[in-house]
Chain A
């Protein structure tokens, strides 16, 4: 028997390392215990996979230290009854079985800290094939056939960028991986690096060969220490095996590999700001043109792709461009990874072929809403994206179709919201993020996002005035047109799409001074319905500011002047006696 513990950051945060230690202490042969990366079901962490000698899998979920003896007993006896309550349900296992995993193919399967595990899974065969059997142009051709487009957000055809960098004059070229995953709610890049770092290295080396770069650089968030650790380890292993360095596989092609930890700014995910940061400058975007393919890192031709993009490359080289292009729609090929979070039942990483619908992701795979409140909207693409309302749930996952709604594919963040989410508040949340992350260089973004945020703050406080929606729209379009980089140009999207689909909510805040979702604390009051109150005193005991008075078995009263609208009474009442107005 093999015992594999999911140890991505998410698993570790949920207690996977404690579980591993408990298992070792519970008389399990250490040689049988190993780790893997992110299995992809965040809501079920920690996850322990137990492979029988015939390789059949028993997956245990929400495992805690206390479960170690039971697991040990199961390992001993093979009697699944020992761990019955931990075994993943059929519905939950569908979360993975309904996916099509290419970029994440090894995630949660192999041990990310051992290069042999990667090669055993067929790793580095694509690199060898590319270097020894294909010309750089041949590689670019296969990528072109595959239809692979940038997975970081912009969705630009990968072959085109590679070709442009290849065509650029100059001996010295750079291949850069953008691993500065900054969208709140997106974590697929982290999962790839933590769970399958060699896949990234292989994809990058193929890319370096294609464009003619002798240097590969990964720009990774400093907030991803585990990813950095595992990637460093992987680079060391690959270097030792001669996969990184001079004359790889005897092909004559050589490439070195470095990691640069980012400085913690969202804008450094914008490629020119990333280059500035790599060079040791303040992370601020450069003007384009010139594009990085002509003048990038140290003013040399450079190509920058996202982690997920590279994670597909090895598979494409091995399986052919046609196989990849066979999945998806006319304009969007292959698969895409989504980080599904929010009010959805099953959250985690979902990789599915393009052409599926949002309904497939949120309801079929994600299991629908966590609460009894109906689905309201999904925010696609993080702060740069937009919201898609419930009546567009059958929108197809395709760059063009998603773009038509006002949202974007983006890096694949999907925040699912139910009816209790205020859409003005949601827009304000993302604007607050972009305003704080603006680098401060261009006027439209630096001041424009701040002014938009101030307007949204006023509106959610009930201080909005007639004309605010129109002014917001005017400002939004102007920022989209005038901002220097992608951060600013897309910052208005959450506002524009919420106005587009939920204008009535804005109007309710502005005209009636009401928040229909009951989320904006300045616009709601809590009241106890005397008839329903049993005088249990639970609300009064939960109130942090002693705003509720009343005696046992008599109706209680909220002092609205003292009330800070935290909602604790509302959620603690067992008789539905407290209402939000």
Chain B
């Protein structure tokens, strides 16, 4: 045996062993991408480099042999720099999406492609479970979310984005019908957490922390949980029965609810801290913003969220027949459509830009118009005019669009001397909402008047107190933003409870250059929207407008998905190594070596744009199988992997042994799932044995949610059996 030191640890290795083998024996990790025991060492990736005392060059540990007394450092600054640059270079030439753009654009990083794909395959319960990894209230969120996912959906480059939000609502509704899924909780940790505020942020944080084994209590000032989902969103958009059912599931996991208690009155952050190991402040933004327009104090002028809450609580104010709503966001839409339903005859939406600039969801804008709302675009209230303290009219300044502003939208500018007056009974100001600062006097506020919390660690100035949601940093945003923060905060708090600090920043992810994607071969297929109640029926009541997807509609819509994300995301070795180093491949952005290609046979798909030229496929095909179906082509930057004679794979002598797929460290060579719609899933692999001609043969079986997805030959017998995948599937017990 040879004695050496690796990272200060005394290690023994047999004579002739490589440094890499010695490190592995000692459980010391050295990254590799082109190395595998099955084939001869190659030395292409250079990630396995280590520094040896007294040797000026970095050594490739896959080939350098151990020697007596060697002193090795596998993580020195020079080694890390070499690996980092290697990964930056590699990723600068790797044209692939790890995950789909929908997922990346979701503030909660919900695996949209995953559940859409599962729905397409009819795997509704698996879809729901996947959603619940990130969203605690999917039936509610599916209904109300302005779906940033759909804004990123690439299907819109063919015709229209996938109806992702409604598909989520569909899967969640299926689950609410019977035997709802309640996640299993980890063993109790004995730690307790107090959450202030039972809105989407607070409930989500409570849900995930409970699943992690902590004891969580949610304190809320209202008589029921749900926060703005309950008190800010009208019944016709989110029936409270749906919300109730979802909150009940959260309660079933073991979260304790305490209602009708108010921060600053019934308890303080300090008092909660005494009884709990951590406190999360998720109090939301419950004050309507002012427009600073003269006349706002008049009777008949209401704040948007105040108005909506009053209606929901059954205390709808007398708004009269002529109502104007100021604002262009979703709260303005909720307010105007609610006003219609309360019986107002003339409902105006006053918005200083045009329809195209409205931040509200397009569907909402259209549906409101169908219900009888009149838009007053390019107008801005100059004054609310009253008589005896009661609102009588509004004077509007007429506007036109000028140069684009910082947000890229064209700035509205007043047209000198042009005004208009409209007679009104009431006006609703839906231009924003704010934190009630007095409630959180114990915490530090920022210049915007919101709680200052670290955007990645969610810590506040007080140890053990975290803050999330509408009350923090930039202020009020959409529910899914709060849910995303809550999910990440839950992990940060869990780490804190284990005595650690967790940076919840999302690690490096590879993305394709959108400008290079070609959609010309895609068949056009229109987006499916769920059926809705007719406008003249729904504008008279608070029944839910959307009727939701039928199973057929959901499957058809889900099948439109372009499958952007990489099937090998969960087991991609390349990504795992990339995420170990703080890499910025954009520093080396340049030409991509290979175009996106697609070649497939019955089981294997090939895309050289993702290839990192580790050569494992070529070498294993040659050295292990002696088949030579693929080889290296071209030189330098343009080097490519190609089937023999540049033929499509299915015209070569490839016998589908699958060894190249097994060894491929990224998604360049992949094996299809036994699913109709291909979808990236976090499969579980087990080695199993099947009988082939009376011999025991090893196969790797991947399963997801109990279903077999792939069977890959795993030894000489199975690789050379000549059996198709269907025949191998049939052999599984």
> A522 interface residue, CB < 8 Å from B?
no
Complex Cα distance, B62 from A443, in Å, reads: 16
Our pick among A441, A450, A454, A482 for the contact of B49 (Cβ within 8 Å) is A482
A447 to B63, CA, bound (A): 22
**Interface check A110, CB cutoff 8 A:** no
CB atoms of A444 and B85 under 8 A apart: yes
A436 at the binding interface (Cβ < 8 Å): yes
Q: Which of B366-374, B584-592, B714-722 contacts A (4 or more CB under 8 A)?
A: B584-592
Whether A435 pairs with B82 at a CB distance below 8 angstroms is: no
B632 at the interface (CB under 8 A from A): yes
Return chain B residues, CB-CB under 8 Å to A447.
Answer: 89-90, 92-93, 588, 593, 637
Q: Does B635 contact A (CB under 8 A)?
A: yes
C-alpha spacing A292/B637, complex, angstroms: 27
Q: Contact at B45–A438, with CB atoms within 8 Å? A: no
Interface contact A289-B64, CB-CB below 8 Å: yes
A440/B590 in contact, CB under 8 A = no
Flag if A478 contacts B82 (CB, 8 Å): yes
> Is there a chain B Cβ closer than 8 Å to A469's Cβ?
no
- A548: Cβ under 8 A from any B Cβ: no
| Complex: chain A residue closest to B47, CB-CB | A443
Measured between beta carbons, the chain B residues less than 8 angstroms from A482 are: 46, 49, 58, 82, 85-86
B85 touches A440 (CB 8 A): no
CB neighbours (8 Å) of A444 from chain B are 46, 85-86, 89
Question: Is the beta-carbon distance between A484 and B46 smaller than 8 angstroms?
Answer: yes
Which of A289, A439, A442, A454 sits near B590, CB closer than 8 Å? A454
Query: CA separation between A282 and B632, bound complex, in Å?
Result: 8
> Quick one: which of A406-441 are within 8 Å of B by CB?
435-441
Partner of B636, one of A440, A443, A481: A440
Could you give, for residues 661-678 of chain B, a 1 whenever the CB lies within 8 Å of some chain A CB and a 0 otherwise? 000000000000000000
- Is A475 on the interface with B (CB-CB < 8 A)? yes
Q: Is B634 an interface residue (CB 8 A)?
A: yes
B140, chain A: closest CB distance, angstroms: 47
Please report the C-alpha to C-alpha distance between residue A483 and residue B89 in the assembled complex, in whole angstroms: 12
Kindly state the separation between the CA atoms of A377 and B384 in the bound complex, as whole angstroms: 80
> Any chain A CB within 8 A of the CB of B81?
yes
A435 touches B636 (CB 8 A): yes
Which residues of B sit under 8 angstroms from A478, Cβ to Cβ? 81-82, 85-86
Most buried by A among B43, B65, B90, B593: B43
Question: How many B residues face the partner with a CB closer than 8 A?
Answer: 39
List the B side residues contacting A449 at CB < 8 Å: 636-637
Tell me whether A2 is interfacial, beta carbon within 8 Å.
no
Assess the A440–B86 pair: CB atoms within 8 A: no
The residues of B that contact A436 with a CB separation of less than 8 Å are 635-636
Q: Which residues of B contact A437 (CB under 8 A)?
A: 635-636
Do the beta carbons of B632 and A440 come within 8 Å of each other?
A: yes
Verify if A474 is at the interface (C-beta below 8 Å from B): yes
Question: Given the interface contacts A451-B590, A478-B82, does A446 sit within 8 Å of B613 by beta carbon?
Answer: yes
Distance in angstroms between the alpha carbons of A294 and B45 in the assembled complex: 24
Which single member of B45, B49, B588, B636 contacts A451 (CB below 8 Å)? B588
Minimum CB–CB distance for A461 against chain B, Å: 14
B93 touches A439 (CB 8 A): no
Residues of B within 8 A of A435 (CB): 636-637
| Measured CA separation A474–B49 after assembly (Å) | 18
A438, B613: Cα distance in complex, Å: 13
Bound Cα distance A289, B66 (Å): 12
B85 pairs with A474, CB closer than 8 A: yes
Q: Which residue of B lies closest to A467 (CB)?
A: B587
Residues of B close to A471: CB separation below 8 A: 587
Chain B residues near A10: list those with CB within 8 A.
none
Q: A438 contacts B64, CB within 8 Å?
A: no
A43 CB, min distance to chain B CBs, angstroms: 34
A265 at the interface (CB under 8 A from B): yes
CA distance A467 to B593 in the complex (A): 25
Q: Which residue of A has the minimal Cβ distance to B85?
A: A478
A479 to B43 CA separation, bound complex (whole angstroms): 14
Interface size on A, residues (CB 8 A): 32
Interface membership of A448, Cβ < 8 A: yes
Residue of A whose beta carbon sits closest to that of B90: A443
Chain B residue with Cβ nearest A436: B636
Interface of A is mostly: helix
Minimum Cβ distance to chain A for residue B167 (Å) = 39
* Cα(A435)–Cα(B93), bound, Å: 15
Residue B496 at the A interface, CB < 8 A? no
Minimum Cβ distance to chain A for residue B722 (Å): 29
Contact of A440 among B42, B591, B635 (CB under 8 A): B635
B639 within 8 A of A: yes
Q: Tell yes or no: B41 within 8 A of A by CB.
A: yes
CB neighbors of A among B527-552 (8 A): none
Residue contact B637 to A438, C-beta cutoff 8 Å: yes
Most B C-beta atoms less than 10 A away, residue of A286, A288, A439, A481 = A481
The listed residue (B45, B78, B587) touching A481 by CB distance below 8 A is B78
List the A residue with the shortest CB-CB distance to B612.
Answer: A443
A442 and B63 contact, Cβ closer than 8 Å, known pairs A475-B85, A481-B78, A482-B82: no
| Docked-complex contact A440 and B82, CB < 8 angstroms | no
Is the CB–CB distance between B46 and A440 below 8 Å? Answer: no
Known: A443-B89, A444-B89, A446-B613. A438 touches B636 (CB 8 A): yes
Q: In the complex, what residues of A have CB within 8 A of residue B64's CB?
A: 289
What residues of B have a CB within 8 angstroms of the CB of A282 in the complex? Answer: 631-632
Tell yes or no: B312 within 8 A of A by CB.
no
B28-69, CB under 8 A of A: which get 1 and which 0? 000000000000011111100100000001101011110000
Q: Is A287 an interface residue (CB 8 A)?
A: yes
Q: What residue in chain A is nearest B634 (Cβ atoms)?
A: A440
A180 CA / B62 CA spacing, docked (Å): 29
Chain A residue nearest to B635 in the complex (CB): A440
* Contact B89–A451 (Cβ < 8 Å): yes
Nearest chain B residue, comparing its CB with the CB of A488: B46
Min distance, Cβ A140 to any Cβ of chain B, angstroms? 26
Bound-state CA distance A343–B542 (Å) is 88
Q: B612: which A residues are within 8 A, CB to CB? A: 443
Please name all residues of chain B whose beta carbon is closer than 8 Å to the beta carbon of A451 when the two chains form the complex: 89, 92, 588, 590
| Contact of A442 with B44 at beta-carbon distance under 8 Å, contacts A454-B591, A475-B85 already known | yes
Residues of A within 8 A of B49 (CB): 481-482
Known pairs A448-B89, A481-B58, A484-B46; A440 contacts B637 (CB<8 A): yes
In the assembled complex, the Cα of A454 lies from the Cα of B90 at a distance in Å of 15
Please tell me if the beta carbons of A481 and B82 are within 8 angstroms of each other in the complex.
yes
- Residues 99-114 of A contacting B (Cβ, < 8 Å): none
Most B Cβ at <10 Å: residue of A444, A447, A479: A447
Residue of B nearest to A478 (CB): B85
Closest to B46 in A: A482
A442 and B46 contact, CB distance less than 8 A: yes
Residue of B nearest to A475 (CB): B85
Q: Shortest beta-carbon distance, A125 to chain B, in Å? A: 42
The digit string for B559-598, where 1 denotes a CB below 8 A from any CB of A, is: 0000000000000000000000000000110110100000
CB distance from B626 to the nearest CB of A (A): 15
- Given the complex of chains A and B, what is the CA–CA distance between A148 and B49 in angstroms? 33
- Does the CB pair A443–B42 fall under 8 Å? no
Contact A450–B591 (Cβ < 8 Å): yes
Given A441-B613, A443-B44, A484-B43: A265 touches B635 (CB 8 Å cut-off): yes
Quick one: given A441-B613, A454-B591, A484-B43, are A446 and B637 in contact (CB under 8 Å)?
Answer: yes
Residues of A within 8 A of B634 (CB): 440
- List 11 A-B residue pairs with CB atoms under 8 Å apart, sorted by A's residue number: A286-B43, A289-B63, A437-B636, A440-B613, A442-B43, A443-B86, A446-B613, A447-B93, A478-B86, A482-B46, A482-B58
When A and B form their complex, which 9 residue pairs have the shortest distance between CB atoms, in order from nearest? A440-B639, A287-B43, A478-B85, A447-B89, A450-B637, A438-B636, A287-B63, A454-B590, A451-B588
Binding site for A on B (CB under 8 A): 41-46, 49, 57-58, 60, 62-65, 78, 81-82, 85-86, 89-90, 92-93, 587-588, 590-591, 593, 612-613, 615, 631-632, 634-639
Contacts A265-B635, A442-B45 supplied; 12 other A-B pairs, CB < 8 Å: A286-B43, A436-B636, A438-B636, A438-B637, A440-B613, A440-B632, A440-B636, A442-B43, A446-B613, A448-B85, A471-B587, A478-B81
